[in-house]
Amino acid sequence: MRIATWNVNSITARLPRLLAWLESSGTDALCVQETKCTGEQFPREQLRELGYESAVNADGRWNGVALISRVGLEDVTSGLPGDPGYDGKTEPRAIAATCGPVRLWSVYVPNGREVGHDHYAYKLRWLEALRSAVVEDAAGERPFAVLGDYNVAPTDEDVYDRSLFEGSTHVTEPERAALAALRDTGLSDIVPRPLKYEHPYTYWDYRQLCFPKNRGMRIDLVYGNAPLAGAVKDAYVDREERKGKGASDHAPVVVDLDI
């Protein structure tokens, strides 16, 4: 079984590439973030023509998440239980479903904006709500994973130059402690094996030639429980999908399972 996660940075803008990638990659279940569309605008019919079902949590703003599966889509949970909300609103940042033999969450963790900002405090509360929501599944016997754009680099090696991020979000100790607390529920970081490059980054800014210069970050993660981690055959970042015209600023992260 092949599962993957991809921040597409607008599913409307990325639809031709998404459909082509699904066909060429043979992915069974894909977690999508930053759909930037309403639920009604989500391309269900185009995906259905390829044999995929869709579950969507989106409101047309800058967020939005989805699960796309050709191996079943059951017991859908739309939204994060205990979501703390921001500025009086609950944002569409999480969705879960059972896809064949595995239970998956697609998550888009708040950015945090800057240290000390209300959005940063919201990010930490949101990660705590996520930890609480996954405790039971993380400790269970069914293969389970939380995939998505975490907007946190777990270690200094997951950014191209740690000194340039001093005082910024994505690398602070409270954020990394929140990730550690999530892992402590029984999850482990399914680290992509590097291909050509020493560090398997997943995100490169559009500006300043960051991708050609490999000035990236590893913030798109797959956290799996013991049954899922024990079934991993391969894991990688599909850097090729970051290349060319019309690419997202994130690359898909792919995990192959012997399930």
* Residues assigned a catalytic role: 108, 149, 250
| Residue 149 annotated as lining a ligand binding site | yes
| Residue 63 annotated as lining a ligand binding site | no
**Matching residue, tokens 């192959």:** 256
| Residue 111 annotated as lining a ligand binding site | no
Beta strands in the chain (DSSP E): 2-7, 29-33, 53-57, 65-69, 74-78, 94-99, 102-108, 144-149, 188-189, 203-204, 216-217, 220-224, 232-237, 253-257
CB neighbours of residue 208 within 10 Å? 10
Residue 178: which H helix or E strand, with range?
helix 173-183
| Residue 128 annotated as lining a ligand binding site | no
| Residue 250 annotated as lining a ligand binding site | yes
| Residue 256 annotated as lining a ligand binding site | no
Residues 6+ apart with CB under 8 A from 143: 101, 102, 103, 224, 225, 227, 228, 231, 257, 259
User: Which residues line the annotated binding site?
Assistant: 7, 34, 149, 151, 249-250
User: Which residues line the annotated binding site for Mg(2+)?
Assistant: 7, 34, 149, 151, 249-250
